[in-house]
Structure 1
């Protein structure tokens, strides 16, 4: 008899496999090509229902994806999910991780060690979009790790086994809310990761949220747009962003 874990693994494998099909049909079976509802939308678990989680989650819900917002007290998210529309629901972090073909991590960076302790097995093999930033005043010892080793290495440590893509961490949530689907050249979102299929999925979800992804390179390159770096807080078009990070189209 198939186990629940087997089912989740099969679903993740099907999603990842879709990325390797024809470029013209990237993720057509799972993710819409534009910010319009799709017949087979992606399921996205969002760990953290604060400013970034609710902003990006709301954009995905409006694009037709199914999202599960989560916190340790999901009953407190009733008003939030009602405001995001019928594609949104609430759950615990464990439920959101199990729900999602893709998982967005949007919690304070000091929570990453506990996140790893509680959910490492469930996150293994998942496409994880990591939107966290480390700040000295809030994140204590983990901030020290980031200063010593870089945020890419520290995220890889605590999200070990996941297919990590750094994205949606290079600006304040208010910037995202203001610029989603803007006219006259979409705002660029730098992304970095080591898994090509995960990068393709993250890039499509960036587009669905109303932005233009700019693939900066492997995960180590994410240090170049972390909070406190010269690449943080830039409101650029994709062309400007590629020039800034020195990457080709």
Structure 2
């Protein structure tokens, strides 16, 4: 399917303006619109590629720049030590309520479009944490979390004052959590805590682990890339959205 990409600005309740990459299918979109939450490196070509792929599958997609309060529009970082350092510096300036305000503004923008009946959030790593948080606090029908870290801890501002995992009973939609078994950020202990929290809260969910797979397995050209895990994750995302 042909898509139309553009950059738009979404007003947020705190008075800021959120730049976002919008990808829409040419023709009628599916009734589910999607927010794609970026990882540490901001809205880079990988994230835009995910948005484009979802738009090609028929979905209206928005990839917001969550660092917008502290850096210029359109800025993203390479997968280098320097890029990781810059990304972490900005991540540690992104508070819980600010992040939620951004997602809420995007959901409102998408939900107001003709034909949209439900909204979903898909997030990668730090964006996976944000996707899980949004599922807890906002009206999200479907959520896909790809190796979202720090959920049982208070190590980043989005997971304060109480760890985001503690908010799990507030989830009302369906959630799919996808992670590699060799992920050093989300070890067996953390995976067990996430699974236990979802089960105890009675959340409709699926937690999928990939043997021999590391963190950030989704991105071609990176050391952790795993084609089989990426293909399976992508198929699960599309199935989730199509439900």
Question: Same fold judged by TM-score > 0.5?
Answer: no
**Larger proportion of strand:** 2
| Category of TM-score, reference length = shorter chain | 0.3 to 0.5
**Larger proportion of helix:** 1
Question: What is the TM-score of this pair, normalised by structure 2?
Answer: 0.38
